[in-house]
Amino acid sequence: MVPGEDAEIGVRVYKTSSPPLTGRIKARLEDFAVKEKISPQLLASLRRLRSPTHRIQVYCAVRVGVDTLTLARIINFHSRIPRSRLRFLGLKDSRAVSSQIFSVVDGRKVPESIGGLSLLGWSEKIPSKESLMGNDFSVFIRNFEVSSQDVSNRLSRFIEELNVESLPNFYGYQRFGTYRRITHLVGKKIVTGEFKEAVMLYLTYTTPYEPEETRGWRKSLRDTGDLEGALKSAPKPLFYERKMLRELVKRPESYLKAIRSLPITLRRLFVNAFQSYLFNLVLSRRIREDMPITEPVIGDFVYDPIGSKIMRHRQRDRDSHHLMVAIPLFGYGYRSSEGRQGDIERDVLKEAAVTTRSFFVKEMHELSGKGGFRKADLDLDKLLFTHDIESNVVCSSFTLQRGQYATILLRELIKPSNPLQQGF
């Protein structure tokens, strides 16, 4: 049975039946390392010196305990380069050692005083997300609730299952927030046009995992509605809450402006997270109904890597082994699957009480979600586990494609009873 925190983000099944490894990830910051894999073509195209044709700076940032949005704020503070001129290939969580690539569409150089940054070179074009081939992970798991021998046995059982089972390509926990899994909840309010509710949810929703000062501040604002008082007393880490409150204090009821005070990356993440939540529900339902995630059935959409195209799977084909199941992401451009998969999608939409047209946000066009497709199973490569029996610590290393989550693999292994307390 999955824990409530998993169900809240739409992840409602396990694909494996191996017993829980237990344990904790991210017990130390250095226990979780992620490094972006960049296409050789991008690296080969960079020039050592700026030229009239190569004006885009490309950097590598290696940071400990700093998420992507915070890194953008740090660069902006020290260089005055607008955040809109910083382009990141992927979003990284704060609870990790992260190595990521970003580009600067601006003539100013990033100050050397910002540690952990190195200039890779100058590019002719802004690197696109297609330049990110995937991510390499190195993860330590420790603090097990079972003996070292049990860890070895359970790890072996899990590896045996992976030899015959593919894992589902769910969106991971960090898509929905760290200590508050609310980005999808805010996103739904935006999609349904409830902008006041979206703002107040972001400002006042709290969990037991937040610091006591922050919990008290959110509760006070929820109970009193005192915006000016909340702005004056906001704890220092609540940077985005203060930005929203400044807008609301200047112009009461200006909820659209309050949302727009946030960086565009964060604003888009709200709607994207709601799409991700619905995708997780659809994929969970497909697995519960014993439908395969690696082999298409009639009515599915499939991705054909040979032709790099999405198409409908209408008949059984002995040569279809190379086709990959593609599940639609709901959006204003949504295309419905047929057959059993189409039934699942309609049921999830109905239960969520939204329509695909809702994803066109007329009040904030920039947040509209067109939709698309996502593979049903993870692309897991170079997986290696080592277990130090004496210290009872497991180290895992592996590679995933762009947009896939290490915590989804680790969740199937550890099967955490309390994801947040266990580092998820």
Structural Rg of the chain based on CA atoms: 22
Calculate the alpha carbon distances from 326 to 132, 283, 294, 320 in Å.
20, 10, 9, 14
Pick the catalytic residue from 6, 67, 93, 300. 93
Indicate the angle between helix axes 183-191 and 195-204, nearest 10 degrees. Answer: 170
Cα–Cα distance, 406 to 144 (Å, whole number): 19
C-beta separation of 311 from 355 below 8 A = no
Q: Quick one: which of 314, 287, 290, 317 has its CA closest to 301?
A: 314
- Give CA–CA dist 296/408, Å, rounded: 22
Check if the beta carbon of residue 364 is closer than 8 Å to that of residue 370. Answer: no
Closest CA relative to residue 415, chosen from 8, 10, 13, 70: 13
The reply to whether 93 belongs to the active site is yes
**34 closest CA partner among 363, 420, 410:** 410
Query: Do 198 and 211 meet the contact criterion of CB atoms below 8 Å apart?
Result: no
SS3 324: strand
Query: 169: closest CA among 309, 301, 320, 326?
Result: 326
Handedness of CA 239, 240, 242, 243 (dihedral sign): positive
415 in the Ramachandran plot: left (φ > 0), alpha (ψ -120 to 50) or beta? left
**How many Cβ atoms from other residues are within 10 Å of residue 186's Cβ?**
27
Using an 8 Å Cβ cutoff, are 161 and 409 in contact?
Answer: no
Q: What is the rounded distance in angstroms from the CA atom of residue 57 to the CA atom of residue 105?
A: 7
Helix residue spans in 328-370 (DSSP H): 339-352
Active site residues per annotation: 93
